[in-house]
């Protein structure tokens, strides 16, 4: 089957807790449901948005954390990747921003689109050391290096989330492992940097 080409310009949000851990989502490509992976929060720009506005909107839609676009720091990296997702082959420009949300940030999947809910299975806060030692697949593959760079350059200022909510499954919000759903905003399937 021929894949449908898609070109996207995206913002990736890297929310950090007080222990310098980054919040990632766990999900799968519907064409390869047996190959789960962890990915950053984010998605494509919509009509007239800035990248920071996109990052703030996606952070709320995907995990229920509301922040001001002005509170993001960065960018901490920009690249172009190509990957497959369902029946699409996607070329994606992505720019990474960080925001300190603290330990009190509650994660909720209630604002996700249905396809995101259907293909996201959980979330977790990851330290750079945990990313470096895990055998689980996550994207971008150099996220531990990016995370260390963000937290080493200067402390990312604390931002108080303005929409604390509970997890979609009613879980306690345990930052180590809770369950929930995202898709089209992450690195999905097999990805590679486009030269």
Q: Which residues contact 166 (CB under 8 A, 6 or more apart)?
A: 106, 108, 173
Does the pTM surpass 0.85? The reply is: no
State how far the Cα of 88 lies from the Cα of 14, in Å rounded to an integer: 25
Q: Is the pLDDT of residue 184 over 50?
A: no
Give whole-number Cα distances, 62 to 32, 47, 52, 128, in Å. Answer: 21, 19, 15, 22
Q: Can you give the residue ranges of every domain in the chain?
A: 4-193
Q: Is the pLDDT of residue 195 over 70?
A: no
Instruction: List, in sequence order, the alpha helices (H) in the chain.
Output: 51-63, 114-119, 128-133, 143-153
pLDDT of 181 reads 29
Give whole-number Cα distances, 118 to 30, 31, 49, 109, 180, in Å. Answer: 9, 13, 26, 11, 9
pLDDT band, very low/low/confident/very high, at 185 (cuts 50, 70, 90):
very low
More confident: 187 or 21: 21
Number of Cα atoms under 13 Å in the Cβ half of residue 49? 18
Q: Under a CB-based contact definition with an 8 Å cutoff, are residues 45 and 51 in contact?
A: yes
State how far the Cα of 59 lies from the Cα of 130, in Å rounded to an integer: 22
pLDDT in tens, 43-61: 999 999 999 999 999 999 9
Burial readout 123-159 (b: 16 or more C-beta within 10 A, e: otherwise): bbbbbbeebeeeeeebbbeebbebbbebbeeeebeeb
Q: Is the pLDDT of residue 171 over 90?
A: no
Average pLDDT, the chain: 81
**Domain spanning 4-193, CATH architecture:** Alpha-Beta Complex (3.90)
Q: What are φ and ψ of residue 69, in 5° steps?
A: -55, -30
| Mean pLDDT along residues 11-32 | 96
């Amino acid at each position: 089957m021929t894949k449908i080409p898609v070109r996207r310009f995206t913002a990736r949000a890297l929310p950090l807790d007080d222990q310098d851990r980054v919040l990632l989502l766990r999900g799968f490509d519907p064409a390869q449901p047996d190959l789960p992976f962890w990915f950053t929060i984010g998605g494509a720009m919509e009509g007239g948005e800035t990248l920071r506005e996109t990052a703030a909107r996606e952070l709320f839609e995907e995990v229920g954390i509301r922040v001001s676009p002005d509170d993001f720091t960065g960018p901490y990296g920009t690249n172009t990747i190509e990957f497959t997702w369902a029946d699409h082959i996607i070329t994606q420009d992505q720019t990474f921003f960080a925001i300190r949300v603290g330990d009190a940030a509650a994660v909720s999947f209630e604002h996700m689109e249905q396809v995101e809910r259907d293909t996201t299975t959980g979330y977790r806060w990851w330290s750079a050391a945990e990313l470096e030692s895990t055998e689980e697949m996550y994207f971008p593959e150099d996220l531990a290096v990016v995370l260390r760079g963000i937290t080493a350059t200067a402390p990312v200022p604390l931002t108080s989330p303005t929409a604390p909510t509970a997890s979609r499954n009613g879980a306690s919000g345990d930052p180590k492992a809770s369950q929930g759903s995202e898709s089209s905003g992450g690195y999905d399937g097999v990805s590679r940097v486009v030269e």
